Structure formats: structure tokens, C-alpha cells
Amino acid sequence: MKKIILVPNPNKDESLMVTAAVIKKLLSLGFLPCLERKFVEVEKSGAEMFDTPPADAELLIVLGGDGSVIDASRLAIGLDIPLLGINLGKVGYLSEVETQNIDVLDRLATGDYKIENKMLLTVEKYSSNGAHEVSTRDAVNDVVFSHEDYFGISDFKLENSNGDRLIYRADGLILATPQGSTAYSLSAGGPIVAHDLDSITVTPVCPHSFFNRSIIYGKDECIKISNSGEAVLNVSVDGRLFAKISEGEWCVVKKSDTRIKMLTFCENNMLSVLFKKIKVLDGTV
């Protein structure tokens, strides 16, 4: 029996009712759902409870919003297994399944799905004294540079692999993966990038200059972001603080050697999903 790890978000799934329904569905298909032992609400559901994630699991299913998917991505990457999201959030760009369409999981038993390898970003911090720090988390969506207090203007210097330089004075700077182009970067006015097009999109947040355009760099770029002002900058990876950089310090952001495997049923292309989500948010459907 193939093992599937379930990672529920109790804040999104009260009493784990949706999780219980997914467990029942997977058992009926001949799979063995596995959950961390702390989820006592479902310990009598027929699922296997664990203290340590089973190394022989073949899929990880996340029940929650995009934040839940991002948090669980580290486990999926560590086990080298695909990840599938069931959306319990408001947007759920990273989730493949909606709660009203759980029957689509039937296709797991027939192999009617596709595994897509998504690009990630890695970030490293450098100091003039030679100190060097590498983020333990790769970015599924984005690496963001912002003022230490999250409010206020900061100064950034961007340099690409060819030595081309740009100076930004802005509230922040977003470096996004293709799938991250429909997250914070999109909200800041960045372009929509096809999720299968490996690239790094740089989008300024409320820039205080005439140059306010995003730039899409190739997948092999190494982008150096320096703190060229007096204010300390926060460097966040998918919304989780990685480091602070002071004046004269810098970070290098580039494509990670690691990729995340995402399971898709290919019912919709990326744009149709995006437009559907936008209509729901606008209340037009």
C-alpha cells in the first residue's frame, strides 16, 4: 500500500473534518494516509500516525492555504516526493484541488496526473568582514528586501552577472520565481510569468523614482542586492525572515540547484486558474 503524508492546517480545517474526508477517500483508493501523531482528532480514522515522517512515502498532500503549502514544501523537498495542495485558504494559487472537488483524487489511483518540477531561489548573505550565511530555506515564491521596520524608504543597489547596475529607492524589492510572479510581485504591479518558464523577476515596491518597471532575468543570473543606505534591511524568504543586512552588506539571489515537485491533474492551465481566482476575489463569480 502506497503511503501518502497528509499535512493539515487546523486553523483552516476546524476539527479536521476535511482531513477526515480526504483520509476516507485515500483509504478507499488503496492508499495509506500518514499523519503526525499530534493530530489526535483522526487517530482512529485508519490513518497511520507517526512521530517521524515515513521515508517511503510517495506523496505529500497539504490541506490549507498557500502559506501551508510553502511551509510543507521543505518536508516534500527533503523526502524528494511530489506535493499536492488542497485549498482551504482564500486564494490558493499553489493548490491544485478545491474542497468541493475532492473526488479528483480518484485519479491518483489511475496515474492520471503529471509531476511538474518548479524552480526555487536560493539566497546567501555576505559581509565585508568575510562572514557568509546561506539560507536553509529555498524560496518557492520570492525573496523580499524591505526596511527593518517594514515601514519606510530604503536604498538598494542591484547588480547582475554582467556587472550592470541599478539603484532603487523604494519601500522594498521583490525577487520572484515564476510561480511567485502571481503572489506578492503581482500585487506590486509585476508581470505574470508562465510557471514553466524558469526566470527571476525583480519588482520594486512603491519605488521613489521614474524607473518603476519590473525586470525579468534569465534562469542563470546571479543577482547581487546591496544595502546602499543607512537603514537596516530585512531579507525574507517566502515571508520568513532570513537575515538583516546593514550598509555595505549584500545578498546574492540565484536559481537553486533544488527543485520542488508539484503534482497536477492538468485540468486547467496556469492562466485559467489565475483568472478564476481573480474573479472569485473580485466577487464576480
d(CA 253, CA 230): 22
User: Is the pLDDT at 204 greater than 90, yes or no?
Assistant: yes
- Residues 133 and 248 placed together within one structural domain of the fold: yes
- Residues 269 and 198 placed together within one structural domain of the fold: no
Query: pLDDT digits over 45-75, tens only?
Result: 999 999 999 999 999 999 999 999 999 999 9
Q: List the alpha helices (DSSP H) in the chain.
A: 17-28, 66-79, 107-110, 184-187, 270-282
- Which residues 6+ apart lie within 8 Å of 141 measured at CB? 66, 70, 176, 177, 179, 180, 183, 184, 238
**In the prediction, which pLDDT does 128 show?**
86
Model confidence at 22, pLDDT cuts 50, 70, 90, reads: very high
- Residues 144 and 200 placed together within one structural domain of the fold: yes
**In the prediction, which pLDDT does 26 show?**
98
Cβ-contact 48, 73 below 8 angstroms? no
Residue 214: closest CA among 176, 263, 241, 249: 176
Report which DSSP code applies to 218. E
Total number of domains constituting the chain: 2
**In the prediction, which pLDDT does 284 show?**
57
**In the prediction, which pLDDT does 90 show?**
72
- Residues 13 and 93 placed together within one structural domain of the fold: yes
Q: Give all strands (DSSP E) within 65-214, no chain letters.
A: 83-87, 97-98, 114-126, 132-134, 142-147, 154-159, 165-170, 172-176, 199-205
pTM over 0.85, yes/no: yes
The mean pLDDT of 222-236, rounded to a whole number, is 96
- Residues 146 and 244 placed together within one structural domain of the fold: yes
**In the prediction, which pLDDT does 274 show?**
65
**In the prediction, which pLDDT does 130 show?**
86
d(CA 32, CA 230): 55
The mean pLDDT of 234-258, rounded to a whole number, is 96
The mean pLDDT of 182-198, rounded to a whole number, is 93
- Residues 62 and 125 placed together within one structural domain of the fold: no
Model confidence at 273, pLDDT cuts 50, 70, 90, reads: low
**In the prediction, which pLDDT does 268 show?**
55
Q: Which of 66, 71, 171, 238 is catalytic?
A: 66
- Residues 125 and 226 placed together within one structural domain of the fold: yes
Model confidence at 279, pLDDT cuts 50, 70, 90, reads: low
- Residues 85 and 49 placed together within one structural domain of the fold: yes
**In the prediction, which pLDDT does 93 show?**
77
Report which DSSP code applies to 153. -
- Residues 100 and 124 placed together within one structural domain of the fold: no
The mean pLDDT of 23-39, rounded to a whole number, is 97
280 vs 138, higher pLDDT: 138
Residue 144: closest CA among 201, 68, 212, 222: 201
Query: pLDDT digits over 92-125, tens only?
Result: 778 889 888 999 999 999 999 999 999 999 999 9
The mean pLDDT of 254-262, rounded to a whole number, is 97
CATH number at 194 reads: 2.60.200.30
Domain of 57, in residue numbers: 3-113+265-282
CATH number at 269 reads: 3.40.50.10330
User: Is the pLDDT at 281 greater than 90, yes or no?
Assistant: no
- Which residues 6+ apart lie within 8 Å of 149 measured at CB? none
d(CA 185, CA 177): 10
CA 111 vs CA 23, 134, 265: distances in Å: 19, 38, 10
- Residues 103 and 165 placed together within one structural domain of the fold: no
**In the prediction, which pLDDT does 89 show?**
77
**In the prediction, which pLDDT does 211 show?**
78
Share of the chain above pLDDT 90, in %: 81
Helix (H, G, I), strand (E, B) or coil at 198: coil
- Catalytic status, residue 149: no
Backbone angles phi, psi at 76, to 5 degrees: -60, -40
Report which DSSP code applies to 266. -
- Residues 177 and 244 placed together within one structural domain of the fold: yes
- Residues 167 and 238 placed together within one structural domain of the fold: yes
The mean pLDDT of 176-195, rounded to a whole number, is 94
d(CA 225, CA 235): 10
Report which DSSP code applies to 191. P
**In the prediction, which pLDDT does 218 show?**
96
d(CA 54, CA 67): 23
